[in-house]
Structure 1
Amino acid sequence: MSNRVRKDKDAGSKAWIMVFVTISLFCIIFFAARGRFQAPVSSQAVSLVLSPFQQAVSWVSNEFRFVTSNIWEIATLHEQNKMLRSEVEQLRAINVQANEAMSENERLRAMVGYKQSAHQFDTVAARVIGRESDTWSSMIVIDRGTGSGIQNDMPVVTPAGLVGRVVEAGLNSSKVQLILDPRSSVGTIVQRAESRVTGIVRGDVSNPTMPQMVNIPKNADVVEGDVIVTSGFGGIFPKGIVVGLVSSLQNDAGGLLKIGVLETAVDFQKLEDVMVITASREAPPEPIQPPPQTPGTETDPKAQAEGQKK
């Protein structure tokens, strides 16, 4: 019985000794890792025992610093990347705005130059704000109306040439019928001095982007490349406004007349700004006088009465 009690006491003592040694080693390692414990120089055994633990703690500490440093760098790079993307988007927006402002400045400068050169016209600048969906290629809407002095049948132009005429003037907006509309009719003439052949320009349903010059005599002096301008007849379009170039010539269905297919001076697909001619100080063309008639064949009642008097 006594031997068993003694063995139990010895086992308990050994257990407490192991606990004490373990705690002591833990404290030594802890303070050594924090730099708060310094073993005596002569204690080589302690240094030998602590060395593996110090290396392990140092490795763990270095790995922890490496990982935390990488995490910090990744987080910093992520924030910098977000800032750079935001700056790139802002620069792109600024670049788009700058290009748009430059394009608008070029268009307005051309319009100002035209207004200064065409001093015989009073014009009002307008912007295209829409197109009618059912007549996409033949009708546009501008942001000027009667409040700006716009009225029906006023010509609409750009520095490049003729656009059309106002067909419905509202208070703050107006509808403009383009020369591409098959319902339009523009009196024109060949600009070339050797020709001066007249005709009518109207839209073509089968080719909406290229109107036709019709009523051209078959033997008339009209060739490809001729410049076609307004003739001034009709009282709506002033004389001399460029309409387009003759792209090709073809015979009409009857074979007695020719048709000139025109490449318009205005690019209607890029039409953004226009000018409405509100007044013209240009003298209208003189009316065409009929040739003198042979006595006895007069068709004019006045001429017949004068012949009878004589």
Structure 2
Amino acid sequence: MPQFFSNKRLIILLASMIVLVALIGFSMKERENITWPEQFLHDAVGWTQTVFYKPAHFVAGFFETVIEMKDIYEQNKVLKLQLNDYDLLASRVKDLKRENETLRKSLDKKEALTDYKVWQATVVGRSPDRWYQTVKINKGHQSGIKPDMAVISADGLIGKVDKVSPFHSSIELISSHDPSNRISAVVQGEKGPVFGLIQGYDQKQKVLLMKMIPIDQELKKGQTVTTSGLGGIFPKGLEIGKVVKVEPDKVEPTQTAYIEPAADLYDIHHLMVVDRSMQEVNVEYEDKPVEEEEAS
């Protein structure tokens, strides 16, 4: 009996292996249709994959999106910093370029003013409510600055020294509304010099007013106005501006010329204080005795 059961198990094992091989061969055979057990297994595996794949794909995509958003945020932060640095650099380059051009003009002006003593100065203060009245520079008594010295920029006349402290000075601009702020000016006309007084500033039109021009004198648009040197403060030949238009006075028999300033009175940075000392010639007369003729 025991041997029979052993043979039976061997027969079952061999039969099972034959069936398994047959199934494997049958499944590997190229067919257009598969059996219903295969269909059931195939669909079951597909549904299982779908159930687990979609949530897993969603979670993985979510974390990928979060990581990507974090990277984009960091990149955006770096780009903003670089953009701010670029704006600051561009602004600084623009300021340096303007300063360089101004200093070049100042150097050319200084070389031209051979008859003047020149102090280079920088504007360090300006009151918003007195923007067209005064500015403060970084030169004072210790540098040799004195009241009533003329002040120019690289383009033209700016004003005069008003108040002086040891290390700073207050500059009264030519656009100041002070009634005593007058400048003797001259225009070289076709028939000779035409004199007048720079007195007043039209802030709306951004022009100086040249008054007291004789009614019979003719001025043309574009003519250059300079200091005449007759006022006792400003040296002769400092450029003030150019004639824009001329109108007759409504009361007196004179004309008023509107002058566009040569210098930028709104944006002022670098200035020059100039002084020309007139050399006085002292003539000494020797007292020679007069020989009286003796009466013969």
TM-score by length of 1: 0.68
Cα deviation for residue 231 of structure 1 reads 0.9
Change (3 A) 1:50 1:134: closer
What's the counterpart of residue 280 of structure 1? 276
The Cα of 1:50 is off from its aligned counterpart by 7.2
The 1:283–1:259 alpha-carbon spacing in structure 2 relative to 1, beyond 3 Å, is farther
RMSD in angstroms over aligned alpha carbons?
Answer: 2.9
8 Å CA contact 1:195, 1:222 repeated in 2: no
Q: 1:120 to 1:193 in 2, by over 3 A?
A: farther
1:230, distance to aligned residue in structure 2 (A) = 0.8
Q: 2:253 is matched with which residue? A: 256
Query: Equivalent residue for 1:220?
Result: 217
CA contact (8 A) 1:188 1:200 kept: yes
State, as a whole percentage, how many aligned pairs show the same letter. 26
1:196 to 174, 193, 197: 193
Task: Measure, in 1, the Cα distance between the counterparts of 2:53 and 2:253.
Answer: 106
Question: 1:21-80 deviations in whole A, cap 9, x for unaligned?
Answer: xxxxxxxxxxxxxxxxxxxx97x8997697243553344433332222222112211211
Residue aligning to 2:110: 115
Aligned residue type for 2:230: F
Query: Secondary structure, in 3 states, of the residue corresponding to 1:232?
Result: coil
- Unaligned residue ranges in structure 2 (runs of 5+): 1-22, 25-36, 281-296
2:192 alignment partner, SS class = coil
Task: Quote the residue 1:77 is aligned against.
Answer: 72
Give unmatched runs, 5+ long, in structure 1.
1-40, 285-310
Equivalenced residues, count:
243
Partner-residue secondary structure (3-state), 1:270:
coil
Distance 1:93 1:252, change over 3 A: same
Structure 1 residues 170 and 193 mapped into 2: Cα distance closer, same or farther (>3 Å)?
A: farther
Report the Cα offset of residue 162 of structure 1: 0.8
Residue 159 of structure 1 and its aligned partner are, at CA, apart by 1.9
The 1:218–1:148 alpha-carbon spacing in structure 2 relative to 1, beyond 3 Å, is: same
Change (3 A) 1:210 1:133: same
Q: Aligned equivalents of 2:202 and 2:221: distance in 1? A: 22
Contact 1:185 1:202 survives alignment (8 Å)? yes
1:267 aligns to what? 264
Q: 1:195 to 1:225 in 2, by over 3 A?
A: farther
Query: Which amino acid in the other structure matches residue 215 of structure 1?
Result: M
Task: Quote the Cα distance in structure 1 between the aligned partners of 2:91 and 2:202.
Answer: 37
The alignment's TM-score, normalised by the length of structure 2, stands at: 0.71
Q: Distance in 1 between matches of 2:49 and 2:220?
A: 101
Q: Residue 212 of structure 1: SS of its match in structure 2?
A: strand
AA aligned opposite 1:264: P
User: 4+ runs of 1 displaced by more than 4 Å?
Assistant: 44-50, 204-208, 281-284
User: Is residue 101 of structure 1 aligned with residue 96 of structure 2?
Assistant: yes
The answer to whether the Cα contact below 8 Å between 2:189 and 2:219 also exists between their aligned partners in 1 is no
Q: How does 1:115-134 map to 2 (within 5 A)?
A: 115-133=110-128
Query: Against the structure 1 CA distance between its residues 202 and 65, is the aligned structure 2 distance closer, same or farther, given a 3 Å change threshold?
Result: same
Q: Is 1:176 the equivalent of 2:165?
A: no
| 1:1-310 to 2 correspondences below 5 Å | 51=45, 52-133=47-128, 135-181=130-176, 182-192=179-189, 194-204=191-201, 209-277=206-274, 279-280=275-276
